[in-house]
Amino acid sequence: MIELKNIVKTFAGKNTEIHAVRGVTLNIEDGDIFGIVGYSGAGKSTLVRIINQLEKQTSGEVVIDGKEISSLSESQLRLERQKIGMIFQHFNLLWSRTVAENIAFPLEIAKVDKAVRQKKVQELIRLVGLEGREGAYPSELSGGQKQRVGIARALANDPKILLCDEATSALDPETTDSILELLNRINKELGITIVMITHQMEVVQKICRHIAVMSEGKVVEEGTVKNVFEKPRHEVTRRFVQTVGAGNLEKIRSDLKKKYPYGQILRLIFTGEISDRPILAEVIRKIDIPVSIVSSNITMGPDGPMGEIYSHISDGTQAQYKQFTKLLEAEGVKVEVL
């Protein structure tokens, strides 16, 4: 468990002081995928660097598994850092080393025997799906492949925590998905706690379970991704949620009402905790009503489909609408009548 207790970080600027982090308290549970979201300058990059002490906080405590990290000596801290992997937006690979040598680098640092090292590197290459590219140099790899090397390198010393600093921001959407899939698998298979810094809400939606929204050095909203997405309270959160299509309810409602003055418009909310069964199709088959999907934003979350569907029922009785709603709700889909 990572406990951040009232973290403050102030940089001394030329004339003024820059308050990057102003009193952040967060608890990140073991095995969680925790997203820290915010615009640039919100202090999230500084905060994540305080977790592994690349930046020393001005005040406050960082406690990892009961150990106060900020009071460790230089050499103790180095050992502790070997158990905290980190990946970066620009990958930060050593260009002078091949893929295999890059992955072996943290093992060299930890003074692992060569034979053990080579075996571990092979395992990691398989894990991240880079078989056959062991001898390539970073300049010969695509962005997605480079990040895979970064992930393998970060996992080399069997860390319990993986810090991701905008790990997908330099990648195209398709590659982002494949990297997120890999991170999700690592979290599930190896039980590693993942802390993700990002400004991409869709990244949070796809893989995180908990989220903290940062603005001007403070956490302005925190909770499960589900709750924050459904009921964003803070202005910044609302803006973020809107970037993935949700949240802009009023406008969608009035647009749809104008377009479909008759029948019934429903908002179906998938919270990511339901099965992959074709729920909608099954319900429509049971009650024979004409349902059309007019707008939808569904992505696969860590546990199942997440997002919302706006559907229009062009014909039917009130009793049928009620029945339709009831059956969907029984499957865990939230239904709102617009």
Contact footprint for other proteins (CB under 8 A): 52, 54, 75, 77-82, 84, 86, 88, 90, 92-97, 105-106, 108-110, 137-139, 153, 157, 163
- The amino acid occupying position 88 is F
216 within 8 A of 228, measured Cβ to Cβ: no
Q: Which two tokens stand for residue 150?
A: 């970064």
Asked whether 223 and 231 are in contact (CB, 8 A), the reply is: no
Closer Cβ to other proteins, 52 or 271, answer by number: 52
Type and span of the H or E element at 309: strand 305-313
CB closer to other proteins, 197 vs 241: 197
Min dist. Cβ of residue 136 to other proteins (A): 10
Q: Rounded to the nearest whole angstrom, what is the least distance from the CB of residue 56 to other proteins in the complex?
A: 12
Q: Residue 14 Cβ, how far from other proteins at the closest point, in Å?
A: 13
Contact 333, 268 (CB under 8 A): yes
Q: How far apart are CA 224 and CA 205, in angstroms?
A: 11
Q: Are 68 and 55 in contact (CB under 8 A)?
A: no
Q: Which run of H or of E encompasses 178? A: helix 173-190
Min dist CB 52 to other proteins, Å, is 6
Q: How far is the CB of 78 from other proteins (least distance, A)?
A: 4
Is the Cβ of residue 139 or residue 318 nearer to other proteins in the bound state? 139
Residue 236 sits at φ, ψ, to 5 deg, of -60, -45
| Region class of 27: left (phi > 0), else alpha (psi between -120 and 50), else beta | beta
Minimum CB separation from other proteins for residue 214, in Å?
21
DSSP tally for the chain: helices H, then strands E: 12, 14
39 vs 105 by CB, closer to other proteins: 105
State in angstroms the smallest separation of the CB of 139 from other proteins. 6
Q: Which of 198, 267, 188 is nearest to 230 (CA)?
A: 267
Please say which residue, 171 or 213, places its beta carbon nearer to other proteins. Answer: 171
Q: Which one, 54 or 190, has the nearer CB to other proteins?
A: 54
In angstroms, how far is the first alpha carbon of the chain from the final one?
Answer: 42
- The residue among 88 and 260 lying less far from other proteins, judged by its C-beta, is 88
- How far apart are the C-alpha atoms of 61 and 207, rounded to whole Å? 28
